[in-house]
Amino acid sequence: MQLFYPLILTLIFEGLVFLLFRFKNRDFWILFLLINILTNLSINLILLVSSLFMTYTVQVIFLYILEISAVFIEYIFYAKKEGKSIKLFLCTFLANMLSYSLGLLIFGHI
C-alpha cells in the first residue's frame, strides 16, 4: 500500500491539471495512466531501495533529479501523441509540481 497510495493521489492531482488544460482525447488518457504508473512507481521504488544506503541529503538531491527526469520523460511521451507544444510542456511541468508539492504536504519529507 506504501507505493499505491502516492500513485493514486498522483493520478488524481495530475489528472485534474490535464482536465483543466482541456485534454480530452481517450488515447491521451490511456497514455497518461500508463506513463504515470511507470514513472511514479519507478521513483518510489528507487527511493525505497536507495534509502537503505543513501544519506538523507543525498536522497533529497536524488529525488529532485528523479522528479525533473519524470517531467521530461512524461513530456516526451505526451509530445509523441499530441505534438510538441509549450502548453503541453507547461501542463506536464505544473501537473508534476502540483503532485510533488501536495505529496510533500500529505506525506512529509522523505
> Which domain does 55 fall in, by range?
4-107
Gap between the Cα atoms of 7 and 96, Å rounded: 12
Band (107; pLDDT cuts 50, 70, 90): confident
pLDDT value at position 104?
87
| Pair 33, 11: CB distance under 8 Å | yes
The string of pLDDT tens digits covering residues 1-39 is 677 888 999 999 999 999 999 988 999 999 999 999 999
For residue 107, count other CB atoms closer than 10 A to its CB: 12
User: What is the maximal distance between C-alpha atoms in the chain?
Assistant: 43
The string of pLDDT tens digits covering residues 32-82 is 999 999 999 999 899 889 889 989 899 889 999 999 999 999 999 999 999
Gap between the Cα atoms of 52 and 48, Å rounded: 7
Gap between the Cα atoms of 68 and 76, Å rounded: 13
Cell readout for 48 is 525505497
Task: For the full predicted model, state whether its pTM sits above 0.85.
Answer: yes
State how many domains the chain has.
1
pLDDT value at position 1?
67
The string of pLDDT tens digits covering residues 86-104 is 999 999 999 999 999 998 8
Gap between the Cα atoms of 75 and 84, Å rounded: 8
Candidates 77, 68, 3, 90; CA nearest to 40 is 3
Instruction: Let me know the angle formed at the C-alpha of 39 by 34 and 45, rounded to the nearest 5 degrees.
Output: 125
